[in-house]
Structure formats: C-alpha cells, structure tokens
Structure 1
Amino acid sequence: MSNGSDERMAVTAAVASLVAALTLAPLIKGSTWLFAAAIMVLAVMVTGIVGRQLARGWWPAVVGLQAVVLFLAIVVLFARGEIADPPGAVRMLSDLLDTGLQITQSQSPPVDATRGIVLLAAGGTGLVALAVDILATSFRQPALAGLPLLAMYCVPAALLDDGLPWYLFLIAAAGFLLLLSADAGDRVRAWGRVLASAGQRPARAGGDTGLARGGRRVGLAAVALAVAIPSFVPGLDNQLLGGSGDGSDGSGGTVITRINPILDMRRDLNDPVDTELLAYTTTVDNPDPLRIVTDDEYDGKTWKPSGKKIPRANNISKGLPTAPGLTAAVKTSSETSQIQIYRLRETYLPLPYPARTVTGLDGEWLYDPDTLNVIGNKVDTTQANYGVEFTEVTPTADQLANAGTAPEGIVKQYTQLPDDMPAEIERTARNVAGNGSAYEKAVRLQEWFRTGGGFVYNTKAPETKNGDGSAQAIVEFLKAREGYCVHYASTMAVMARQLGIPARVAVGFLPGSVQTQNTRIISSRDAHAWPELYFAGVGWVRFEPTPRSGQAAPDWTLPNTGTNSDTPDSQTSTTTAPDTSEGDASSTAEAEATQEQQEAAGTSSDGGFSVPWQPVVLLLVVLLGLAAPRTASVVAGRRRWRQAVTASGLATAAWDDLRLGLSDLGVRWAASWTPRAVRQRLNDDYQLAPEQSAALDRLVDELENALYAPPTDEPGRAAADRRHDVALIVGAVAVQKSGRTRWTARLWPGSGLTALAGLTPWITSRFRRGSSSSGPDEDGTAGRKPREKAGSTRS
C-alpha cells in the first residue's frame, strides 16, 4: 500500500502503544514516566516514517534505524552524562535496570518514579511501540500487533492485587480497535470506491458505509461483553479487569494483601474487610511488633529501604549476624516463633527483630547485615511456614540515657536529609526536644506525639500529593495534628535526624489478637510503622509515638522526663545551633558536587527522574523536521483525493498528483502548455515505455473530458486506478534521475514544503473568519464569504 497508508498506520500504531501504556499508571506514582514513554513512542514513530522513505520499504533497514534511534533516546534521557563513553552508558543503563528490577521485587505498587523505574516503563513502552510498528506498518499484520499490546496490559493486571480498573481495559482495547480500523480502511481504499445502489450517492473508499458502521458496532459490543461477562458468570475470575479485592464474592477466591514497604498502608488500614494474614506462636508473653522491612533512606518524599545489592553469600541458611550496635551489656533472652502465612504476599520476610536463624523456608532468602531485612530472590511469602530463633532485647532507660556517641559512619548515614526540608519541621523539633541527651530529646518527642501535643489518631486524615511520609505531609500533619502511624513514625524519624540522632522507620504489624496461649492472629488492620533510633552500646531501639488505642510505648522509653515536655508553644529553646567546622564545610561542598554530578547524569537531587527537556526537544525537532515535508505532502494528497467526488474532480486530482510528483523530481513545464503538449514533452524527453505512455494517454483524455465535455455525476474510473497510472509515470521519470534527486524527492519533496508554506495563509484566514463572527471585517462586511475561485487545471 502507498500514498500515505504507511504514515497513517505508523501514527495509529504509536497512538495504540501510548494508549496501552496508560495501563501502567496504577503501578507508578506521578506522570513523569508517561512523558518519557511518549518520547520513546514518538522517536519510534518518526524514525519509522523517515526510515521507510530512505529504505524504500525495506523493513530490516527501517527496524535497524528505529532500534538505533530508540537506544539513543534512552541514552539521552537516562545516561547522557556518559554519552561520550558508550560502554559507560551501557553500564549505567544496566545498573539502572537492576535497581528498577529490585524495586519491583521489593515494593508494592504504586512505587516512586525513580530513574530505574522510569527506565523500565519508558524503555518497555518504546520496545512495545517498536514491535507494534513493525507488525502493523511494515508487515501489515495489525491483529498480531495486539500481542505486544496485550503483554503490556498483562503487567499491571498481574501485579495489582485488585486488578486493573475496567476503564483502563476499555482504553487499551480502544487503541487496538483503532489499529484494526486503520488497516481495514486502507484495505477498503485499495479496492476503490464502494458501489452504491441505484439512487444512492457513491461513497468514498473507506467512508462511513453501512459495512463500516456495522464493524464498529461489532467491535464495541465485543469490548462491552468482555467487561460485563466476568461480573455475571459465577466462578469466573474478574481479577484482570479489577474486582472488589475482599474475597467475599462467594467464589472461593483468596485475598492476598501486600504491605507496601514505602509506607503506603492507608489502604490496608481502611479496608472494610479485616483480612487475616498470618498466625504465629511465640515464647514471648508480650511480643514486640513483627517487622517486615526497615526503611533507612529518606528523599523528602518517602522512606524506603536502601537500594544496595545484597550478595548471595548472605543466605539466611547460614544464620544471621548479631544486631548492629548490640553489646553484651544489654539484657537479652533467646526466644522462638513459628509463623504461618495465610494471605500475605511479600518479598520481604516478616520477622521479629533481631532474628538469628530461620528454618523451613523454600527458595533463596538473603539478609542485609545493616538492617537485617530478609528479602527473597525470586520467591515470596505466599503460603510460607517457617520457624525463627530471635533475641529479645530489653534495654533500660539508664543505658539509653548514658549511651555514648554513636559511630561516625552511623551518624553520617542515618541523619541524612534533603537540603530543601521545610524549616518549620526542624524548628518544631528543637522546640519540643529542648536540651539534654539524645535519649531525653527522643523521649520528649515521643511523649509530645502521644499525650502533650494534642494529636489524634485518624487513618482517614487528608492525603497529600507526594505521599503520607513526604516533607509536605509532615508540615500539614504538624498543623492538623491528626494522622495515622505513617505520619507519626515518619515525622519523629525526620525530627530525630534533624537533632543529630540516627533514625530510620520500620514497617510491619502489631502483635495481633490472642487466640490461645502464645498464639496470635495478625490481620490487615494490624499494619503498623514505627521509628527506630540508634544508641551506642544498644543498637536500634523502637519508639512508639503513635497514640493508638491499646498500643503502649516500650518501658525503656518511659522515664521521668521532668519538665520541658509540653507542647512547643510553651517552651523556649536554649539549644544553640551547631558550629560549622571545616569538616562540615567540606561535607557540604562534597554534597553540592554530588548534586551537580547527579544533575549532569540526569537525576534530580531526591533520586527521582527528571526529563532533560533541552536535548529531548532538540531530538524531536530534528526528527519532526525530517518528517514534516513528506508528511505534509501526503496529507495534502489525501485531502485532494478525498475532496474529489465527480469525474472532473478525480481527473483534476490525478493531474495535480502527476504535476506535483514530477516537480519533486525537478520536472517543470510552462503554465501555458496544454495537457497534450505536456504529454508530448514527457514522451520525447523521457522515452516512456508503451505501458507508461498508455497511462499518460488515459490521464490526458480524462482531463480533457473533464474540461470540455458536458458535466456528469458518474465518477468513471476508480481513484485507485488513476493513482496507479500517476505512480507508473512518476516512477518512469524517477529512474532516469540521479540518486540524490530521488532521495530529495522522498525526504524533502518540494510539494511538501509548498504545503507547509500554505499553512500560514490558511491559519490566517481561519483566524480572521473566527474574528469576523463578532463584528464586521476590515472591508465593512459582516462575515461575508468570499467567492471561491474555480479550481485551475492549467499545469
């Protein structure tokens, strides 16, 4: 197929790919990833349009060019700092992919739009767009192009516990139907005009015929049934299209709840169905909360576990190391637990802290020696049943109050905060904490949240844009003084870091409800987060700032705090700001240099992804500039043939196509020449073959009949036949031109440049026509329609 069908299919394939990418929205926070994905799709589309003109439809060359441009676009977006070093760029992209894959294995959706995640989403969308373009445009198999679109749709459908919303299915299906419709239209146009019954006006090829309307109705009905049937057929899994997620549909479905390690627990706490997740027995009478993961990094938006790689040598089958910072001076006891998972799927393993040995698990489970997080390597907790030996740590208030200075490495790592933290958070922290040891300050913070500050526990507190653990959420939480455990834990941990106390946030479950002696059931509403602060000689210590009913603070956090534990409004801080030493100055300079390096490498200071607009815009301008003339020529040609209805119009459209096609090849003739004179010149100058000369004879005869014969409503020959004759003649002339002339005609046709130039008066006329609707024109007429000139057929 020709005359714009390739360009039309390329655009349609790009739209279908981008529409299918919208189904990834529930997996990733924000919309930055979608901009990056759109850039990838546009790069594939424009490169395909240009490449097909360069390679004259030879698909291996087109695919190769598209793959190269797609890779360059990925490098520009994600590794432009290494663009001069291709191996370095490949290594950087590989590291980002590994990081993104680790996040997908360790965190539940929606996840932050980090560079690794955006690379996975945008790069995957680009590859899908490439596959769709190859199948739909190069091979003309749009039905097969639905397979990569389906693969993209299946990713969120498989990862989301409640499935995709039905409207996202409709969006994805609409893109696929659009692809099929565009190809069907091209196939109908190839047959020419649709024959009409007596008395009916002939329809344009591919027009809105009864057949086309019927096809659309069938497609829409099929999509509607695909959405509706799973809701009415008993036992049919509705998960791919979204469901209630409560497991109470009577079909025997099993609910699997997944706690998000980055503190997005609002959904679990507000779930109307309190799902039982696990049961455990323990030798401890009053057990501490069961921890899933420790989040030790904070970027101003959320707490999350560090993304460092864990060596496979850290297998829990060999036992876990001693808890960091714990010494023999602290009272400990050896305890055990047996944990049975019911409906919890998580790559992090729920464990009491600190665990020493874990038995009974299948698969490979690795531990992080700094946090003792245990994460599965391609395994999760579904239906797991395992035993744990752990250490029950019971420090005293005196040990914490008399703790020495924490190691420098611990302080440096666990007091890091973004530079743009709101000043009111630190001001409030210092006002509440007052003077004294780190322990005294921590106790005052905890008591202020629990009793002295007027805070209220509320799982339905207003949400913020960047998440409940973000800096903005903390500011709003301190003003409203209501929230749930994520607000309390995140705020206290951030305040502790601002006071120089190493802090992190743990995520897990409260001890649950007692069933029998030492046997407990944990449900989804037991999800909980709490801060952990580091004290020399003791290690990481749990605090409980959340004023939740029935949740007591640990004994070691309840000494006699004396005065200075009221609200910040009744306190005056006497703490002086720390001096800035040379070491601090050098650290600041190093941080600034690191930030500059991150910005040069294409990442924002908070570890997220930012689109490098300048090189992206430049790349798109270049690609669009290459495709614009050819596209404009094709669009103008389609418009010309679409408007041709009568025999006269068809003859004129064919002659205009011939004139413009030959002018792109440098063939010119005088405007005074008659059609017969043009025929004589072409036959003399280019020695047309009999078949080509016959095609030219037909075009000349039809044009003369259109000019001089009585008008008729009969269209005569089909448009496809006339366009075939034009292609024969233009092709015969093209082979006698130089290669440079032919390439110029394909990439930068003069007819396309003329069409682009004609947009300016067209836009101006539209603007003036719109302005005339509310008043007279400059010549005093009130929206008077100018008399149209008759279309000229002089060449």
Structure 2
Amino acid sequence: MNQRKHLTLIAAGSAFLASLPLTNVFENYTWAIRSFLVVAVMCGVGLLVRSLRAPSWAPSAAMALSGLLALTWLYRSHEEYLGIVPSPGTIVHFGQLLRTASEEMSEYATPVGDREGFLFLATLGVAAVALLVDLFAVVVRRPALAGLPMLAIYSVPVTVDTDSTSWFPFVLGALGFLWLLVTDNVDRVRRFGRRFTGDGRDVDLWEPSPLAAAGQRLGALSVVAAVLLPLIPFAMPAGLLDSLGGGAGGGSGAGIGNGKNGKSVSMFALLSGQLNRNKSVEMVKVTDLDDTQPFYLRFNVLEDLSAKGFSARPISGGAPVGNGFGKPEWGPSVKSATHTARVEVTNELAINYLPIYTWPTKIDKVSNNWAFDPKTAVVYSNKETTAKKSYNVTYTRPEISPDDLRAAAPVDTSSPQLKDLATAPANPVVKSKVEELIKGKTTEYDKVKAIFDFFSPDNGFTYDTSTGADTSGTKIADFLNNKRGYCAQYAAAFGWLLREAKIPARVAFGFARGGSPAGTKAMMLTNFNLHAWTEVYFPGYGWLPFDATPSTAIGGSVQTSYMPAAETANGNDDPNRRGSQPLPSGSAAAGDPGLTGHENPGNTGGGDINTKLSLSQRVGNFAASAPGIALMAAVLLLLLLALPGFARARTRRRRLTFAAAGPGTPVGVPVGDGPQMTVLPEDDRSALVARDNAHRAWDELLDTMTDYRVTIDEAETPRATVDRLVRKERLRDKAESGARLLSTVEEHARYARSPLSARELRTALSSVESAFAANATRKVRLIARFLPPSVLRRWRTNAGIRSSALTLSIGRGWDSLMRTLSVRRMVARRSGR
C-alpha cells in the first residue's frame, strides 16, 4: 500500500475517533453506526480512486459524491432516482431535516434520542469532517490543519451540555489526532533515506528513532495531563468539581440537565424524552408524607402561549424561602388541611426548580439561594440545582367542591396579572371546537368542565408517547383531529382551548404519584412518573390543577374534589406508558410496579399494531433499522466489488460477437496446416469486417493475458508474442493452435494487403484462456474473474486521459482569462490608439 492510500485510512479513522465525544450527546449509538457507514464508504471510494492514479483533486470529489449518495441512502425522501441518486426532492428533504434539527436544538435536553433531524446533522457533520481531514492530511499534506475540523466536532459535547461528560471518548479523539500527526511525520522521515542516531548508529526502517520515541512519549503525557489537570482543585475555578459530580451526567447519564428558568430546554421535549426511555431511573423519593391523597409533586409552569405552543417566562422577583411564602388566594371560608413531607432528590434530577406540593408554607434545609415566586408558585434558584437535595415541605391543600367553583365570581380578563393568560393565538380548528363545546354554558366552571369532558377516551382519545414533543398550533390541531397523544398534548390542548374561551390557563410540570418499595412507606418517583397537567384560574380560589389525561393511562393519577379525572366509561383504556397502573403502597417495584420487564414505554397504541403493518411498511421499517442498514451496506459493497467483473464480461461479449465476413462462403484458399482460414479479396467489403474481427480477437487475448498476469511486451510482434506464450506458458494442442491462429490473423490484418477470415476465433480464445487458467493459482483465477486487472487498467487510463484533458482545458481557459484581464495588454491597447 502506497503512502497516500495508507494516509487515507488513517485520516478516516482519525476523523471517526474525533467524533466519538458525540456519544455524550446522543442516548443511543444509531448516529455512530450511520456515521461509520458513511465514512467507510467515503474511505473506500477514496482508496479506489487513488489506486487509479487519478489527479489529486479526483479522490476528494469522489469522496464527496459517495458521501452524498450514502446520506441519500440513509435518509431517504422516497423521491430518489434508483433509490440512491439524489433528486430535487431529496435536497428539499435534507433541508427539512436541518430545519427540524435547528428548531429542536433549543427544546431537547442531552442526551437526546434518535431524532431524525439530529441524526442527519450528526452524520453530515462527521462526513464533512472526514472529507476535510482527508483533504488536509492527504492532499495538502498539512495534517496539523486537520485538527481544526476535528476540534469543531470534538467540542460539540462540551458546548451543548453544561454538565459533566465522560472523558474516555475525548481521549480517543485526541489519540486519533496524534495518530494522524505521527503517521504523517513518520512517512516524511522515511523519505529522507537511511536514518541514524546521534552516535551514528543506523536505525532500521521500521524502528522508531530516539527523536520519534521522545515525541510519542511527550504526546502521551500531554493527553494524560489534559485529562487529569481539570481534576486538580487549585487549577480550576471553585465550583467546577461540584458541577462535575453534581450534574445530570454524574450518574447513569439518564437524568435531566440544567435549564436556567426553563428557557434553555423545552419542558415538553424534556418530558417526552424521559417518558420514552427504555430504563426506569429514580429521581425523587418522598417520605414522611402524612397526606393520604396528595396531589402531584410540582416544579415548573409554562404561561406564555404563542403559535408555537406553550413556553416558560423568565421568572424574576420573589423572596428567599426563608422569608416566608405569603397566603394562598382562597379565603378563610374554604376548608384546608396542612400536611408535611420529606423530599429527597437524586443526582438524576438536576434542574433549577424545587419539586414541592402547593401551597407551601415552609421549606426546611434549603439555602436562601432558593426563592419563591407567588405568581407561579415556583421555587427556583439561579445558583443551585436540585441534585442530591433533601428538604422538608409543609403545605396546605384546600377542599373545594364543584358548587364552590360554580359560584365563583367572573374572571376579570382586564386584570394586568390575567390579561395575557386568557388569550390564545388565532387557530380556526381550536376556535370552532371551543364554540361547539361551550355553547349554552353560562359559568366559568361549566365551560371548563365541558372542555375537560371532551378529552375523555369515550370521545376516541388515546394515550400515546410516540407523538413527539411539539405543541404548536398545527400539532394541537392534529391532536384534536387524530385524538392521539401523551400528557403534554392533553395539557397544552386543554389549556389552549380554555384560553380561547377567555379562561386563564397554564401548563404545569411535575411528578404523578409513584409506587412504594415493599415494606416501606416511601414513595419513589422515576422518569416514568414525570407528568404535565393544566392549571385554571378561579377568582377567590387561585390556580387549581385539572388533569385532562385519561387516568387509566397515568400511574398515580389523582382525582380532585372539584373535578374527577377523565377516563373511559368502561374503564378499559389501554395504558401506553410504563407504570400506568395505579400504584398501591407496598408494591414490589419502586416507581415501576406491575411490570414484567417486557413493556415498551414508547408503544404507540394497541398491542397488535405490528400485525396491521403492510409488507411495504415492514420492509421500510427493516430498511431503517440497524440490521437493515448493515444488510444494504453489504449488498452495496458486493455490487461495487462485482462491477469490474460485469464490465469485463460485457467487453468480452461485445468482442466475441464477430460480424460475418461476407455473404455466403468466403472466396479464397486454405492457409497453413492449422484451422481453416481464407484469404479475402482486396477490394471486398468483407475485408474491413475481417480486419476488425482480427483486431478485436487480439485485444481480447491481450486482456486475457493481463487478467492472468501474463507479461505483455508491446514491442513484440504477434508471432513473437505467441512463440513466447507457447514456450513460457506451456501451451499445447488446441491452446497452441488457437494462439497461432490468433497471431496469424492479427499479422495479416496489420501488415498484409489482404486479411484472413477465420471462423474459429472464439474457440481459439477459449482454448488459450483455459490454458492460462490451468497454469494460474486460485487467487489469480478469482481476481481475473471478479476484479480483472485489465478493466482496472483501462479505467485508470481513461480517467487519466479525461482528467488531463479537463486540466488542460481549464488551464487554457485560465490563461485566456488572464490574457483578457491583463493590465499590460489594456495599457498597450490604449497607447496604440
């Protein structure tokens, strides 16, 4: 393997190693499999083109084209030509994937799942880095510049994730860059000739010199120092080590990361990602709870509503928790009870909002870095996260009846505090549905109940966590029509419809009730207990929770005294979420009771949905899976390997389809004692055909010699070539007669006034090829059949000719342009006027 081929492999491997830190960004390894396939295809094409001795720019162009084809195959729009050649629809599809990834960047927390937009962006980025690394390292021969694109993708994880990340992929990426530098420098040193040590001792070609060995040791020490230096307390600012150990990534990597005031990560996307995980992760433990019917543990609320859905407002103001919490809005006539609970947050929940029961009256064992905002009833901090926090909460819970809410005063939508919370963006689907539902309803409570009852499974609504995190106007309209979604869609749609009805509403986030480990009174809350619901404002009672999600789909669902949870009339709604069954105290599995271990938290509906898929859908699903992609990659590789053999068979078939030398039997006399040949008249038109047949047969013989590695001497005459074949290749009997026939016909076609016409050219060629095959090894026979050197040589020659012609034409055009724009010529013209 020559130097450039060797560097091509090293460049591809280094580029892929540099991308490995992306494992901290993605939850699964789908991105790595697809990126590896694209880089492998590009590397293989680069090696193939460089083996053809193509110009320096050709391998990069071929790699870029092969990368585009690989991306087209992996991310199909189903509008491609032949399933792999991109079409205008493919480019539009790529643009949509990039736009989707751009929109979701601000919504999804790391690690993210297999979102198609993110996967395409990662694969495209790795392919671009691989192309640039190959360009800098192999073409430009400046491997140090290859560190720039490698650094760009290398730094992505620490840019998008403020929590600690695994160090091991970063070490692999650094080693990949050192590997590239060392390989290039070793190749440069080898071209100097013999190497010597300082004392004059000769160093073998493959033995590292003392200088190279010292460089390798320095590189290894640099990597170790770069990894260990941040762990030294005095080397980094205070608090960094705390963030390394206290971030969401500090545990199993399945937790929720930081989000300042909810603006950096969409709560809907966060909720969707956690509910669709394959593993249950304990996030909160509630103990010493004296409330027999507690509502949900709440930590955040979204109040802004636009055409893109609900979003959080930056929380400001409020007072430290040590200063008290004020009084709730319900009056003294409302019955309420005071309860206490101890909350312990694990390292897997690292957010800036404290999970509490509302309305809190006291929170012990937290610092005054935490403040309480009475408008949203949220406890937040800009300096700390909830990771590993333990605290006691004292709260009051009111007892309110439906009649109390029916008698509540009308909402004053002109109030500055409620004005923005009772309006909704224009949406014809939402508007028509609200007008239909609240028709004839006079009180705010009756309107709320009418809209609430609409989301009952009796109306066809189904719980489904696979519908995604989008709650924009278009998606809400789809949800109202398709009636399939998870708690985020239920909460957002319910709140949107209420605001369309001029009723203040917002979306709250927290945990539904969880299960208890056997023999304990503790309540464990996992990522599968994360939940969203709607809060509605009633004058004199404040913000009250309403959960429109069907109770049978939510484990630990709570029915309030003023509104029962939405459920089916027959109680037979299929739960599509882990832990969806009610969780009695003392259940066997904390946070995940009643599970056999075979449930899929991302199930999209009924259990027999796979049996309803059509054959084309099954084929499409298999093609998009990792085994399907691997199978298609193997088939594509086999087709590429078989291409030279197909080209050789086509050329041979075209050559052996000899044209008839003339009508009827040729006129002439026998020549020699061998196979029957006839001399054609000089002026006969069939002479032209006979010459062409002779030349094609001789070309086929030369290609056959090339395929079986038989030496060709272009200075020899056909007769000398055949004599050498008979002597060195030991041609006997039919093979010898056939070879002499081919040489005689070719000689007459070249030198004689009248060519010969022979009917046995095909048989002669077959006899000679059989003799070559009998004398060759098995390896040579296989290569001659599947990777014939004659085809590769012809491709290489044609590529060189075409590239030279293209280079020459570009050079001529450039010279012509320079002459046209030459200042000297312009001055000469003006002076001559």
**TM bracket (short chain):** 0.3 to 0.5
The structure with higher relative contact order (CA 8 Å, sep 6+) is 1
TM-score normalised by L of structure 2: 0.43
